[in-house]
Amino acid sequence: MKRIINTSGAPAAIGPYSQAVEINNTLYISGQVAIDPSTAKMVEGGIREQTRQVLKNIEAILQAAGYSFVEVVKSTCLLKDMADFRAMNEVYGEVYFEHQPARAAFAVKELPLGALIEIETIAAKG
């Protein structure tokens, strides 16, 4: 059975999609940008600050669905500028220092709301 996940601990969707959907013990988290859910605004700072906020948003959604970072199996990181890869990777590694998921990272021309990074996530129980 499909279950829609929404939490006030992460920013509300900015379009016609859900924060996450769970089906067959797999959680699909929509791409998260660095919006602080308490202010509904993009966090100030550069790639490090934005990556931290994105990971906080992902964590809130994981927790709302009964998952944790340990169960993340795949991340896709979209960067506005590949020159930010190293700094993003350092912050990302603070969360995924063990149980690293599979991952892809791409530079893209533009991200919603002028974000420097967007991360989509898949977690699975099994």
Judged against a pLDDT cut of 90, whether residue 112 lies above it is answered with: yes
Condensed to tens digits (0 to 9), the pLDDT of residues 5-45 reads 999 999 999 899 999 999 999 999 999 999 999 999 999 99
Nearest to 114 by CA among 43, 13, 26: 43
Instruction: Kindly report the three-state secondary structure assignment for every residue of 4-40.
Output: EECCCCCCCCCCCCCCEEEECCEEEEEEECCEECCCC
Task: Supply the pLDDT for residue 14.
Answer: 86
What is the structure's pLDDT at 71? 97
Range of the domain at 75: 3-124
How many whole angstroms separate alpha carbon 67 and alpha carbon 59? 9
Q: Provide the CATH number for the domain around residue 17.
A: 3.30.1330.40
- The total domain count for the chain is 1
34 with 49: CB under 8 angstroms? yes
pTM: 0.97
Angle at CA 20, nearest 5°, toward 15 and 26?
A: 150
